[in-house]
Amino acid sequence: MIFTGSDILSVEQFDRSDIEHIFQVADAMAPYALRRRVTRVLEGAILGNMFFEPSTRTRISFGCAFNLLGGEVRETTGFESSAIAKGESLYDTARVLSGFSDVICMRHPQEGSVAEFAAASRVPVLNGGDGANEHPSQALLDLYTIRKELASKDRGIDGLRIALIGDLKYGRTVHSLCKLLRHFKNVQVTLVSPAELAMPENIVEEMRSVGHNVVVTEDLTQSISNVDIAYSTRIQEERFASKEEADMYRGRFRLNQSIYTQYCEPNTVIMHPLPRDSRADANELDNDLNQNPNLAIFRQADNGVLVRMALFALVLDVVDQVDKCARDV
Ligand code: CP
């Protein structure tokens, strides 16, 4: 794809060479993310960071990524602090805010809303999560993390064995990740969820159509016994009709050190897009895993800055300028 000036709304936009290009650019961002070098390549540029749903990682890491490239960030968080609360349309909001910004990141609870916003925007828009639909930057950083974690074992993404565990119906990160995995070879995907929270059938079929071995199960311990990656997700309570309905599924698939030791192969990597729900009745990834060296959840979050820097550099067409505008610290 041509990145320059493009919206990033769905992982459907990428083919394998696009994914590998993003990862190469992300690798090159490491000295800047680690504060060993400083670049001012986006000096004078403004990111409009608009988050109409709660976020810690995506909002802050998009902002940090833009700052690390030398740009400035202006934020709106929550409908209540936006004129949308007074009835302003997404169209008008997009027309106005895109006059103030060079690029916009947006999270919104409704599926398709970020695409609707982007259609009216005069600058590129990056999807920070639209309802239960997609979370493209998260899926890219997840796959980037898988690539890095497996590289330390002399492995690539082709031939990956992964278990996706939890709320696979409403979890947008796993939807996007499965779509990305279609571009790799011989992937074995085990989908572990309550039947009511299963991965949408079209996504399962798309993976099978490229030859991936997809197993659907409710058996956690068996499914994590022969995988490279155990990727856990939270019950997405905010997508349920009521807390009581979400409570029916909370805590169904818990991974802790004892289960890990008993069932996982040595060096199985544990991932989670975060936030993990650490309330006692949920606790899908127990704190007793925190000292496990294969717990990659915080490396995963760190990688988000690299991948988001890469997306900004590509969309704003400054990849070749990053080093030229840099100095050592
Ligand atoms: N992974 C993720 O989207 O986290 P936040 O909700 O904190 O942005």
Q: List phi, psi (to 5°) of 324.
A: -70, -25
Specify the ligand 1 atom closest to the Cα of 107: 8
Give the active site residue among 135, 169, 234, 272.
Answer: 135
Mean pLDDT of 302-308: 98
Asked if 111 and 183 sit in the same domain, the reply is: no
Asked if 109 and 188 sit in the same domain, the reply is: no
Residue 166, C-beta contacts closer than 8 angstroms, at least 6 positions apart: 192, 193, 197, 232, 233, 234, 235, 253, 284
Asked if 142 and 290 sit in the same domain, the reply is: yes
Is residue 58 flagged as an active site residue? yes
Asked if 195 and 309 sit in the same domain, the reply is: no
Nearest to 13 by CA among 117, 169, 124: 124
Report the pLDDT value the prediction gives residue 176, as an integer from 0 to 100.
Answer: 95
Is residue 279 flagged as an active site residue? no
Specify the ligand 1 atom closest to the Cα of 54: 6
Give the active site residue among 39, 93, 107, 147.
Answer: 107
Asked if 143 and 38 sit in the same domain, the reply is: no
Asked if 169 and 28 sit in the same domain, the reply is: no
Asked if 164 and 282 sit in the same domain, the reply is: yes
Burial 290-326 (b: 16+ CB within 10 A, else e): eebebbbbeebbebbbbbbbbbbbbbbebbebbeeeb
57 Cα: distance to centroid of ligand 1 (angstroms)? 5
Task: Using most ligand atoms within 8 A of CB, pick from 50, 57, 108, 238 the residue to mutate for ligand 1.
Answer: 57
212 assigned to some structural domain: yes
For the purposes of burial, counting CB atoms within 10 Å of the CB of 80, is it exposed (0-12), middle (13-18) or buried (19 or more)?
Answer: exposed
3 assigned to some structural domain: no
How many residues in the chain?
Answer: 329
Asked if 174 and 114 sit in the same domain, the reply is: no
Report the pLDDT value the prediction gives residue 153, as an integer from 0 to 100.
Answer: 87
User: Residue 239 — pLDDT band, cuts 50, 70, 90?
Assistant: very high
Is residue 182 flagged as an active site residue? no
63 assigned to some structural domain: yes
Q: How many other C-beta atoms are found inside a 10 Å radius of the C-beta of residue 279?
A: 9
Give the active site residue among 39, 58, 93, 173.
Answer: 58
Bridge partners of 162, per DSSP, are: 189, 229
Question: What is the DSSP code string of 78-104?
Answer: SGGGSGGGGT--HHHHHHHHTTT-SEE
Strand order in the sheet with 269-271: 213-217, 188-192, 161-165, 229-232, 269-271
In terms of residue numbers, what domain contains 210?
136-299
Q: pTM for the full model?
A: 0.96
Burial 50-63 (b: 16+ CB within 10 A, else e): bbbbebebbbbbbb
The span from the CA of 155 to the CA of 144, in Å, is 13
CA–CA distances in Å: residue 98 to residues 27, 82, 123, 150, 152: 30, 15, 6, 40, 42
4 assigned to some structural domain: no
Domain count, the chain: 2
Protein residue closest via CA to atom 3 of ligand 1: 58
User: Residue 300 — pLDDT band, cuts 50, 70, 90?
Assistant: very high
Report the pLDDT value the prediction gives residue 81, as an integer from 0 to 100.
Answer: 87
321 assigned to some structural domain: yes
Mean pLDDT of 201-218: 98
Asked if 112 and 169 sit in the same domain, the reply is: no
Asked if 315 and 295 sit in the same domain, the reply is: no
2 assigned to some structural domain: no
Mean pLDDT of 222-249: 95
pLDDT digits (tens, 9 = 90+) for 135-169: 999 999 999 999 999 998 899 999 999 999 999 99
**Mean pLDDT of the residues in the chain:** 97
Helix/strand/coil for 48: strand
Residue 88 sits in a domain whose CATH number is 3.40.50.1370
Specify the ligand 1 atom closest to the Cα of 274: 1
Alpha helices in the chain (DSSP H): 16-28, 30-33, 57-68, 90-97, 113-120, 136-151, 172-181, 201-209, 220-223, 243-247, 257-263, 297-315
121 Cα: distance to centroid of ligand 1 (angstroms)? 24
Q: What's the helix, strand, coil split of the chain in %, to 5?
A: 40, 15, 40
Specify the ligand 1 atom closest to the Cα of 53: 6
Specify the ligand 1 atom closest to the Cα of 301: 1
Is residue 173 flagged as an active site residue? no
Ligand 1 binding pocket (C-beta < 6 A) is: 55-59, 129, 138, 273-275
- Measured in whole angstroms, the distance separating CA 196 from the mean position of its chain's CA atoms is 23
The radius of gyration computed from the CA coordinates of the chain, to the nearest angstrom, equals: 20
5 assigned to some structural domain: no
pLDDT digits (tens, 9 = 90+) for 21-72: 999 999 999 999 999 999 999 999 999 999 999 999 999 999 999 999 999 9
pLDDT digits (tens, 9 = 90+) for 72-91: 999 999 999 899 999 999 99
Report the pLDDT value the prediction gives residue 209, as an integer from 0 to 100.
Answer: 98
Asked if 162 and 125 sit in the same domain, the reply is: no
Q: Does the interface predicted TM-score (ipTM) exceed 0.95?
A: yes
Tokens, residue 84: 């949308």
Give the active site residue among 40, 57, 95, 239.
Answer: 57
Is residue 243 flagged as an active site residue? no
pLDDT digits (tens, 9 = 90+) for 46-55: 999 999 999 9
Q: How much of the chain, in percent, has pLDDT values that exceed 90?
A: 97
226 Cα: distance to centroid of ligand 1 (angstroms)? 28
Asked if 290 and 165 sit in the same domain, the reply is: yes
86 assigned to some structural domain: yes
